[in-house]
Structure 1
Amino acid sequence: MSNLQFWLSYNNGAERLRLPVNPPSISVTASHGYEDIDVTKLGEYTVIGDEKLKEFSFSSFFPRDYNAGYCEYADIPKPWEAVKTIERWLKTRRPIRLTITGTPINYAVTIRDFSYEEKGGNPGDIYFTVSLKEYKFIHFRKIEVKKQATTKTKAVAKKASNSRPNTKVQPKSHSVARGDSLWKIAQRHLGNGSRWREIYNLNKGTIGANPNLIKPGQKLVLPS
């Protein structure tokens, strides 16, 4: 028996399933989003985007009978009951948690694929492969909406506004920090990374000929 324990849990740990046989390996995929951009007279450049969600996949089997040679514990679940548990979790369309003790792997995940088979040479044993993808919980902040102003209040506010018109447009700006790129700045301030060229066109004198070489401390004007 190893020190590693593979656990799948559901509903904040209300239901838990420990794999009776540890997978021989687990595949973990971690990557970033990439965008290839053709810059006139400079060729093709790659802009590295934000980190993508991790993906996990592994294979093992649910044995019909306990075998001290490969089983991690004695009170193993019945193969078909274990399969039905995972399928039920999958059908709820809710995240589960993957935990592997002795490793940093402890993630909320969604079940993307679960396939299994019963082989002729090992009746009763069910071999399976499962693919999981990291799940990020999103918390929305509650915004209090103020009551609509009365007609009289609106009129006073409009009069005050008309008496002191402000025709000067205040330009937005961004001070470049370590790790910034024009794509990231456009994504953060304009909501669309592909608008990086607008920022570059406004700041060619500051940035220079290569839009990928921005330096910490540079102050860039942003499109209105």
Structure 2
Amino acid sequence: MDIYLTETGSGGRRFTFPSLPERIRVKNSTNYQSFDILSMGTIKIPKGMTPTTISWEGVFFGEAKKRESIVKTWVKPSECEKTLQNWQDKGTVLRLMVTGTNINIDVTISSFTCEEVGGFGNKEYKIEFIRYKYLKIYTTDELKIVKFVKKTNTRPAPAAPANKGTYTIKSGDNLWSIARKYYGGSGSNWKKIYDANKSVIESTANRYRGGRGSDCGHWIYPGTVLTIPN
């Protein structure tokens, strides 16, 4: 069995965990809505699933332990910590694959802690992933409901304000993490960036993905220059 993390998108970086944990926990749960009914007591009705979480604890072995049989391919513990911490900070979407199991899904790192232990340079860590749900937003034209939308303002739109500048996409970026850089630490304005750059994002994605588009900004590629709107 091996555990891989790979950045989504063309040419994404891959990280292989140098040693395996004793156990991997996968949690799926259902949200329930409760109702109190006089004649029946409390009734709980399913109301959707919570995102899948995957977690484990492990050890990044120091150089003195790199020849232990449990170590598959030794990597400096500090490099392991740096890579995972960087992905967590950026909110990078990753493909998590555990060979020999059915775990092969897109995730983000929701929790990661790492500390030095013992006298061999080992680092013990705990990590948790949450399944990444792709957000698909449809226009009224796509949903064919334009005629039902009430027009409340017929005045011309005000002139667009000056932009914040431009940003060149780097490996590991996604629209959520780019939005966090420019909008006060929040990634919720990712759609604003997508709308302002839809033409270049879609044309680049079509070139790399054989005409299949970006899936509303999910597939973006290093070197693409984006305009960042206010």
Deviation at 1:123, TM superposition (A): 2.8
Q: 1: distance between equivalents of 2:40 and 2:98?
A: 47
| 2:100 is equivalent to residue 102 of structure 1 | yes
Following superposition of structure 1 onto structure 2, how do residues 73-84 of structure 1 map, counting pairs within 5 Å? 73=73, 76-84=74-82
What is the TM-score when the length of structure 1 is the normalising length?
A: 0.58
Q: Percent identity?
A: 27
Residue in structure 1 matched with residue 116 of structure 2 by the alignment = 118
Deviation at 1:89, TM superposition (A): 0.8
Residue in structure 2 matched with residue 38 of structure 1 by the alignment = 36
Q: 2: distance between equivalents of 1:128 and 1:17?
A: 15
Q: Contact between 1:9 and 1:98, CA under 8 Å: does it hold in 2?
A: yes
Residue in structure 1 matched with residue 19 of structure 2 by the alignment = 21
Q: 2: distance between equivalents of 1:84 and 1:133?
A: 20
Which whole-Å deviations, capped at 9, do the CAs of 1:39-94 have from their partners, x for residues lacking one?
13222211122122111110111112322411123xx2211111111111111123
Residue type matched to 2:24 in 1? Answer: I
Deviation at 1:9, TM superposition (A): 1.7
Residue type matched to 1:81 in 2? Answer: E
Q: 1: distance between equivalents of 2:136 and 2:81?
A: 32
Q: How many pairs are equivalent?
A: 141
Q: Contact between 1:113 and 1:131, CA under 8 Å: does it hold in 2?
A: yes
**Partner SS for 1:80:** helix
1:49 pairs, out of 47, 50, 59, with 47
Which whole-Å deviations, capped at 9, do the CAs of 1:111-154 have from their partners, x for residues lacking one?
111101111x23321111101111111122344368xxxxxxxx
Residue in structure 2 matched with residue 141 of structure 1 by the alignment = 138
Q: Which runs of 5+ in 1 are unaligned?
A: 147-224
Q: Which runs of 5+ in 2 are unaligned?
A: 148-230
Residue type matched to 1:116 in 2? Answer: C
Q: 1: distance between equivalents of 2:40 and 2:90?
A: 51
Q: 1: distance between equivalents of 2:140 and 2:40?
A: 46
Q: Contact between 1:10 and 1:89, CA under 8 Å: does it hold in 2?
A: no
Q: 2: distance between equivalents of 1:98 and 1:21?
A: 15
Residue type matched to 2:112 in 1? Answer: F
| 2:83 is equivalent to residue 88 of structure 1 | no
Q: 2: distance between equivalents of 1:32 and 1:82?
A: 34
Residue in structure 2 matched with residue 186 of structure 1 by the alignment = none
RMSD across aligned positions (CA): 2.0
Following superposition of structure 1 onto structure 2, how do residues 1-16 of structure 1 map, counting pairs within 5 Å? 4-12=1-9, 14-16=12-14
Following superposition of structure 1 onto structure 2, how do residues 130-169 of structure 1 map, counting pairs within 5 Å? 130-144=127-141
Q: 1: distance between equivalents of 2:77 and 2:92?
A: 23
Residue in structure 1 matched with residue 71 of structure 2 by the alignment = 71
Residue type matched to 2:36 in 1? Answer: D
Larger radius of gyration: 1
**Partner SS for 2:89:** helix
Residue type matched to 2:111 in 1? Answer: D
